[in-house]
Structure 1
Amino acid sequence: MATVSNLILYPVKGCAGSPLTRAEVLPTGVLHDRTFMFVRESDGVFRSQRSTPKLSIIRPELTVEADKLTLSAPDLPSIALDVSTEGRRLTVEIHGVWRGKAVDQGDEVAEWASTLVGEPLRLVRVAPDHERAVDDWHGTITFTDSTALHLTSLSSLDDLNARILEKGAEPVPMERFRPNIVIKDWTVPYTEDDLRDFTIGTARLRWVKPDVRCKVTMVDQPTGTSAGPEPLRTLADYRREPDGGVSFGIKVAVTTPGEVQIGDELTAL
C-alpha cells in the first residue's frame, strides 16, 4: 500500500518549502502554493533558482489566513509584510510564454530581497482575477512552471542515490526535486511513471507528463550554491526522455479538489 510520506508547500516560487501534515488541494494545486514569486525589477521576468540560486535560502512563512508573509534568511533580519491583494499591478512573465498582471508587494520587501541576492527584484502575488494555464491538459496553475502538483517517491530516490553512490558521489536529498507530494512504500522504483488516474485522500489527480529536470536539482538548498553535477549526471545514464532532458517524478493535474494528509493511501484508478 503506497501512502503519502511528505507534503510540502512552496508559498514563494523558487524559495524554501514548508512541510505540511494536511493540504487542501485546489484545481491550481496545494492552497497558497507558489502564489508569490520574485521578478526582475527591470522587466518583470520571473526569477527562480535557475537564474538566482540564492532564493533557496529564503524561508517563507504564511499565516493561515494568508494575510501576512514572513521571509527569513541567514545573516539577515527577517521581514514581515501585510499581503497586498489590491495594490499596484506589474506585468510579469514566466518562461517567455505567459505574460500577465500580478500584485506588487512593496518597496521594503523588494529592497530586502535585492540586498540578499545582489539583483534588483520585486515580490509579486497572484492577482484575485489571475487566470493561467499552459493548455487544458496541463490544467490551471498559479506561478508553477506548468502543472498544479509535482509528485515523487522515496523508492525512486533510493534507486537514484544507490546509482550515485556507485559513482563515488554523495547522495542527494529529496528537497533538491522540490515536490509537493512524496510517496512511500512502493517496492518498485519509478512506479509513479505508470500512474494515470488516481486518488489521494479526497482528491482525484491525473498524470500530465514526466517531470523533466533542470539545473535547480544541482543547487544545494540550504546554502543556495551549486553542488553539481549530481543528480543530473546520473539521471542522464538511464532517465533520458525522447523529447530531451532527464526526468525524475511526475507532473500532476487536479481532476477533483480535496484534502490530502500524511499517511493517506494512493489508489490507482
Structure 2
Amino acid sequence: MPSRPTVSELTYYPVKGCAGVSVRVAELTPAGLAYDRAFLVVGADGVFRSQRRDPRLALIRPEIGGDGARLTLRAPGFGALELAVDTTSARRDVLLFKTAYRGIDQGEAVAGWLTEVLGAPSRLVRVPPEHDRVTDGLTPGTSAYADSCALHVLSRSSLDLLHRQLAERGAAPLPMDRFRPNIVVDGWDEPHTEDRARRIAIGDTELGYAKLAVRCAVTTVEQSSGARTGPEPLRSLAGYRRTAEGVVFGAKFAVLRPGKLSVGDEVAVSTWGEPEG
C-alpha cells in the first residue's frame, strides 16, 4: 500500500444502473462527480429500473461527450446509439424508491433501443436543471438520481477484509466494481476507515460524511456479464457487517466544497467520529 492514503479510482455512472466510466481527473459538483447518475432508465409507469430487477443494465456502457451535450450508449450485440441530450423539453414524473421527481424524456429512439436491450418497455430521462433534491444523513447535501447521497467512498482495505471472509467460505474474490463506488481510497490500513471519516479533503474538494452504504442485491450481479452469481458477497457481509439498517459496506458523503480531484490525490481526514451501527 502507499505510505499515505490516496485516491486510487474515480468512477462516475452517467446512467443509473448502467456501467461506470473510470477517469483520472474529475470535476466534483454539489451533486457529486460531474454527470454522475444524470440519467435514469424508467419503465412505462415512470418507475426507475435497477440492476435489482434488471441486471442487464450492467451491459449498457454510456459515454458522455460535448461537455454533457451528447450521450452514446453501447451494449454487446446491439448497435451504438448516439443522441443529443435534451434539457429543455417538457418534464415528466418519475419515481425513485417511491419518491417522486421530475425528468426530461430523451425521446423515442433511445426508448426503443433500451426496450430492445432490456426486453421490457423502457425510456430514458435526464435530471432537469432545476432539480433541487435534498439528501439525508449526518451531512445533508444533494444528488441527481443516485440512491441517496452524492458520493460513495470505499477503501481498498475494506475489500481486502471481505476477500479474507470470502476465502474462509471457499468463495472467490470479487472486483471493486461489484460495489460501484465513486471514490476508492488506498492506504487506509484499517478496514472500514471510511466509516469513521467525517470530513475529508481531496484535491480542491471537501466531503462531509452522511451515512453508511446499505448494500442490496446489485452486489450479486457480475458487472461484466449482467448475470446474477448467487448469495455472495451479501452472505459473507451479513456475518460481520449487519446493522439495524441492513448489511453495510462503504460510506456515503455529501459535497461540502466542489472542485477538481484526481487519481493520486492525497485523502486528508480533518475530523473523525465513531462508526455508526
Write the letter of the residue equivalent to 2:218. Answer: V
Q: Which runs of 5+ in 1 are unaligned?
A: none
Match of 1:163 in 2: 165
Match of 1:220 in 2: 222
Write the letter of the residue equivalent to 2:192. Answer: Y
Of 12, 31, 35, the residue aligned with 1:28 is 31
Of 5, 11, 14, the residue aligned with 2:8 is 5
- TM-score relative to the length of structure 2: 0.94
Deviation of the 1:138 alpha carbon:
3.2
Q: How many residues align?
A: 266
Match of 2:202 in 1: 200
Separation in 2, partners of 1:226, 1:175? 14
1:85-130 deviation per Cα after TM superposition (whole angstroms, max 9, x unaligned)? 112322101100x212210001111111111111100000011211
Give the SS at the match of 1:209. strand
Of 38, 42, 55, the residue aligned with 1:39 is 42
Write the letter of the residue equivalent to 1:103. Answer: I
Deviation of the 1:140 alpha carbon:
1.0
Of 81, 84, 89, the residue aligned with 1:82 is 84
Match of 1:113 in 2: 114
Deviation of the 1:64 alpha carbon:
4.2
Once the two structures are aligned, what percentage of the paired residues are identical? 48
Match of 1:51 in 2: 53
Separation in 1, partners of 2:141, 2:101? 17
Separation in 1, partners of 2:259, 2:157? 26
Deviation of the 1:256 alpha carbon:
1.0
- TM-score relative to the length of structure 1: 0.96
Of 231, 236, 240, the residue aligned with 1:229 is 231
Q: Answer yes or no: is the 8 Å Cα contact 1:172–1:230 preserved in 2.
A: no
Does the alignment pair 1:65 with 2:52?
Answer: no
Match of 1:266 in 2: 267
Match of 2:151 in 1: 149
Q: Answer yes or no: is the 8 Å Cα contact 2:136–2:149 preserved in 1.
A: no
Decide whether aligned partners of structure 1 residues 12 and 111 sit closer, same or farther in structure 2, where only a CA change above 3 A counts.
same
Q: Answer yes or no: is the 8 Å Cα contact 1:7–1:180 preserved in 2.
A: yes
Separation in 2, partners of 1:64, 1:124? 18
Q: Answer yes or no: is the 8 Å Cα contact 1:138–1:146 preserved in 2.
A: no
Separation in 2, partners of 1:188, 1:100? 39
Decide whether aligned partners of structure 1 residues 135 and 160 sit closer, same or farther in structure 2, where only a CA change above 3 A counts.
closer
Separation in 1, partners of 2:7, 2:108? 39
1:131-187 deviation per Cα after TM superposition (whole angstroms, max 9, x unaligned)? 112348431110011100000011111110111011111111100100000000111
Deviation of the 1:23 alpha carbon:
0.9
Write the letter of the residue equivalent to 2:28. Answer: V
Give the SS at the match of 1:65. helix
Does the alignment pair 1:99 with 2:100?
Answer: yes
1:191-227 deviation per Cα after TM superposition (whole angstroms, max 9, x unaligned)? 1111011111111101111101000000011111111
Q: Which runs of 5+ in 2 are unaligned?
A: 271-277
Note the 1:180-195 alignment, pairs <5 A: 180-195=182-197
Separation in 1, partners of 2:130, 2:198? 30
Match of 1:132 in 2: 133
Give the SS at the match of 2:111. helix
Give the SS at the match of 2:133. coil
Separation in 2, partners of 1:167, 1:77? 41
